[in-house]
Structure 1
Amino acid sequence: MAQRIGRDSGGVFIIAATPFTDRGEIDHDSLRRLVDFYAGHGVTGLTILGMMGEANKMTPEERRAVVDTVIDRAAGLPVIVGVSDAGMRNLTDLAGHAMDRGAAGVMVAPAAGPAREDRIEGYFHAVAQALGPDVPMVFQDFPLATGLPVSAALIRRLSSELPQMMMLKHEDWPGLSKITALRADEETPGTPRLSILVGNGGLYLPQELQRGADGAMTGFAYPEALVQTVALHRAGQVDAAEDFFDRYLPILRHEQQPGFGLAVRKHVLMRRGAIASAATRAPGPRLSATDIAEVERLMARLETRLAA
């Protein structure tokens, strides 16, 4: 069984895509191959059923099946499971299944509703109570997707009041100052440390690492870029980490287009042999012939740049 996440967890927890067949069925063979692909590129762990994993298009039974396939294939590599759901019962059922199967923790985003911090605070207390004290939690802070901005002060308060809230998935944009504020809080005696992994495809990863982030929890079709950037930074080679990461920026930027970017990521994963089909589940984006030619050109330019 994999080790559970803690307040010092770091590295790269790659956000895993969910492979589908051209008919829209979950492709479990490709899912196993994808786990091997990520593990082969040195990721610290996996995060499944996130927003880019198309979990909102799956039935409860399909989500459980994905959990089973990934955890079985990961063979001890830590797996965090996104369990966000409009219904508390659905959330806790999936979280219970994931933890029983050996998940390292669960990820929860604020529930849809008015953008009031008292409501968000109450929600996370309710989630923590429903899950129990032994389920490590990741707070997914992604205001661009949820429409719910959350202050550093509230995140710190929840982290201090809820012992099981171990980690922040930081995806505020712009949000570098939020990382600085959270790390400054920890200089106060008695303030518990919070693991911070960053998202947004890693667009700002070098700067976020310099602000005190512990690594990345995001998706990118070139996971080795994230892994090596974090490794260089940890080794104290800050400029080398940024120079290395910069080589991947053109295709990473292209992959970060809202909505459309998922189709780009899946196409690249398919071309790299990680999955059999680039299909997204309907309703989802599809690449035109022009789009594909564009992506292929970016891939070729990256290969040339890396070879040089």
Structure 2
Amino acid sequence: MVQITADTKGVFVIAVTPFTETGALDHDSIDRMVDFYMDKGADGLTILGMMGEAPKLTQAESIEVTRLTLARAGEKPVVVGVSAPGLAAIGELTKAVMDLGAAGVMVAPPSSLRTDDQIIGYYRTVVETVGTDVPVVLQDFPLVTNVQISTKTLGAIFEEHASIVMLKHEDWPGLQKISELRQAEARGRRRVSILCGNAGAFLTEEMQRGADGAMTGFAYPEMMADVVRLSNAGEFDRAQDLFDAYLPLVRYEQQPGIGLAVRKYVLARRGAIASAAQRRPGAALNAAAIADVERLIARQTRRLEALA
């Protein structure tokens, strides 16, 4: 069983959860989607994240999505989001997915946390609940969780818990946080893997600050894979040129409320999933938004041809 470590690098695509038009899990599309992501250069996957509509799934469905994804992913690592309001649910789902062969679990802080001591204490109870043998990804996403985790607090958590091996970094603005974490490691603090979110909107800058890759969703995962590859080779200008070709669609997908609808529409258009349907409640694209997306895809295609 492959597990994530503090040295894990690359692109872990945040996977959507495919549904049929009636809202049922689409088992066939899970297979197609996993194949698509891997064919486009993903080093691993993260499922049941915020953009995977995890709160709309039952516990049994979450386990079923994990089982199907792991069966298709083969030797590629799969991280499972297990965030929940209560620790009992986190512990139960963690045990189930780790028994199935997950590479680790991702936990975001509940929005009730306000002080540094509360945040540190929360992750202490998470590790106690799931066990020190389970690799944990700490999801730092204050734009959604409303929990501000300082660099100092992150450092205290990392020092206390060796099993927290990865930071899913999606603070915004957050480039300085990456620099400060890497500077602390240079002074002797243990290393953690840093994979970045926010749909890759700052991926080129994040890689230059010391990130190890991306853990986010975008309907063109090959962009993220190529940007990470080029950045690791020191070809930052080529990485930026490539990124710039995709940036308008990255930006459009960042819109609160319809971002997932955009992503699922493009994934369905590319054949990765059969339907762009979301489980209720979920926004759908209207005709004007679809026209916007099609225009951006056409422009993106022309720009990529010019780079070739």
Q: Work out whether the TM-score is over 0.5.
A: yes
Give the alignment partner of residue 251 of structure 2, picking from 250, 253, 256. 253
Conservation of the 8 A alpha-carbon contact between 2:136 and 2:164: yes
Q: What SS does structure 2 have at the residue aligned with 1:247?
A: helix
For residues 107-166 of structure 1, give each alpha carbon's deviation from its aligned partner in whole angstroms, at most 9, with x where no partner exists. 000122042221111110001011111100000000000011100111111111101000
The residue aligned with 1:20 is 19
Conservation of the 8 A alpha-carbon contact between 2:242 and 2:304: no
Residue 243 of structure 1 aligns with an amino acid whose one-letter code is: D
Query: How does 1:87-166 map onto structure 2 within 5 Å?
Result: 87-166=86-165
Conservation of the 8 A alpha-carbon contact between 1:251 and 1:298: yes
The answer to whether structure 1 residue 301 and structure 2 residue 299 are counterparts is yes
Residue 227 of structure 1 aligns with an amino acid whose one-letter code is: A
Instruction: Please report how far the alpha carbon of residue 259 of structure 1 lies from its aligned counterpart in structure 2 after TM superposition.
Output: 2.1
For residues 13-61 of structure 1, give each alpha carbon's deviation from its aligned partner in whole angstroms, at most 9, with x where no partner exists. 0000011111111111111100000000111100000000000011101
Q: How many residues align?
A: 306
Give the alignment partner of residue 269 of structure 2, picking from 263, 268, 271. 271
The whole-number CA distance in structure 2 between the counterparts of 1:177 and 1:304 is 34
Q: What SS does structure 2 have at the residue aligned with 1:95?
A: helix
Conservation of the 8 A alpha-carbon contact between 1:86 and 1:112: no
The residue aligned with 1:192 is 190
The residue aligned with 1:168 is 167
TM-score if structure 1 supplies the norm length?
0.98
For residues 152-203 of structure 1, give each alpha carbon's deviation from its aligned partner in whole angstroms, at most 9, with x where no partner exists. 11111111110100000000000111001101101223x1001100000010
Residue 223 of structure 2 aligns with an amino acid whose one-letter code is: A
The residue aligned with 2:48 is 49
Residue 155 of structure 1 aligns with an amino acid whose one-letter code is: L
Q: What SS does structure 2 have at the residue aligned with 1:38?
A: helix
C-alpha RMSD of the superposition: 0.8
Residue 247 of structure 1 aligns with an amino acid whose one-letter code is: A
Q: What SS does structure 2 have at the residue aligned with 1:242?
A: helix
Q: Which runs of 5+ in 2 are unaligned?
A: none
The residue aligned with 2:207 is 209
The whole-number CA distance in structure 1 between the counterparts of 2:252 and 2:26 is 26
Residue 22 of structure 2 aligns with an amino acid whose one-letter code is: R
Q: Which runs of 5+ in 1 are unaligned?
A: none
The whole-number CA distance in structure 2 between the counterparts of 1:219 and 1:54 is 13
For residues 227-281 of structure 1, give each alpha carbon's deviation from its aligned partner in whole angstroms, at most 9, with x where no partner exists. 0000001111111111111110001110111121100000000000000110111
Q: What SS does structure 2 have at the residue aligned with 1:12?
A: strand
Residue 226 of structure 2 aligns with an amino acid whose one-letter code is: Q
The percentage of aligned residue pairs carrying the same residue is: 55
The residue aligned with 2:285 is 287
Q: What SS does structure 2 have at the residue aligned with 1:196?
A: strand
Q: What SS does structure 1 have at the residue aligned with 2:139?
A: strand
